[in-house]
Amino acid sequence: MSGTPARTAADTATSDVVCLGESMVTFLPSQPGRLADVPSFGRGIGGAESNVACALAKAGHRAAWVSRVGADGFGDHLVDAISAYGVDTSAVRRDPARPTGIYFRTATDRAADVHEVAYYRAGSAASAMSPANVPREALLAGRVLHLSGITAALSADCLALLRELTAPRPGRPLVSFDVNHRPGLWRGGDASPDVLLDLARGADLVFVGEDEAQEAWGVAGAEAIRAALPEPAVLVVKRGADGATVFSRLRPGAGSSAAPGADSVTDVPALRVDVVAPVGAGDAFAAGFLSATLRGLPVRDRARHGHLMAAAVLTVPGDLTDPPARDRADHLAALDDAAWGRLRLGPGWTGDDTEVRST
């Protein structure tokens, strides 16, 4: 009918967030030390995008994970484990010819020189994802489509899929992109970190760390990163222990003197955390920020929810944990700046009966 508005992704969404990417079975060390010296490993799951989906599902959102796994026991374990978090895995496809990826890692911080990761993912089922074999209707079924630069590095077909999903088109979901630069995955040629910049420019919401922007693109500082990425409506620059800077494009309203396209810049300090294991914080931060975005919270509170979700993961041994209850997180995110700055979070702080410390 003439004059009927076009249906948007939000009008037809069956999920709040759809996350696309490879998840692998992770073997976690029983003790610190070199991989050559660790006597045994415990089994877990690992994958940036599935981590985000699991955290969002635990936070009460409708989350879906789209990927490919092998027709093997490790694939069974991944689908079962991710489903157990409340994530919709109905669009995960099995590949009878390729295996599920696995990896081993040391217990140290990923940024430390002694950190080791041994990937066994070459030729994995997920690396064969392409525009031809990933169910398009599932990818477009959420209010938000969350992607990661890790997927782009897996194969030429995976890169083609991400190029297609970040290309502008009417009615697409809000596209969230975590740069997630992993130097070990890039082998030159078309598969180089430079493509991450192009993909990020096509997204609506981008997460990037200052350190990875420097390493991938030679760009230093939040303002310079924004200059290199002017297109996304929201750019979140993660600055480690210094917090996060959020650039959000202003939409001038009545009486506003702001020019169209001008940025609002919000600096949000990080929390002081007694870290148990320094893994999974970036994915958790993205999940917290997306959760608050879905709820329409102010930019400051979106970043604070990101910090709180990251603190929940940092205070447990693994990559995933239950987030704080929503009312508890909302209370902490609403603190004044002085009270926020006094918080110190340690193991067990997410429990309903656990007192949060201030210093």
Q: Which residues are part of the catalytic machinery?
A: 283
Enter the tokens of residue 214: 């420097």
Do the strands 174-178 and 205-209 form a parallel or antiparallel pair, or are they unpaired?
parallel
- Is there a contact between 27 and 101 (Cβ–Cβ < 8 Å)? no
CA distances from 306 to 14, 107, 132, 138, 149 (A): 24, 24, 34, 26, 19
DSSP letters along 59-96, please? TT--EEEE-EEESSHHHHHHHHHHHHTT-B-TT-EEES
Cα–Cα distance, 179 to 199 (Å, whole number): 9
In three-state secondary structure terms, 146 is strand
| Residue (of 78, 60, 61) closest to 70 by Cα position | 78
Angle at the Cα of 48 (from 42 to 52), degrees rounded to 5?
105
Cα–Cα distance, 266 to 245 (Å, whole number): 6
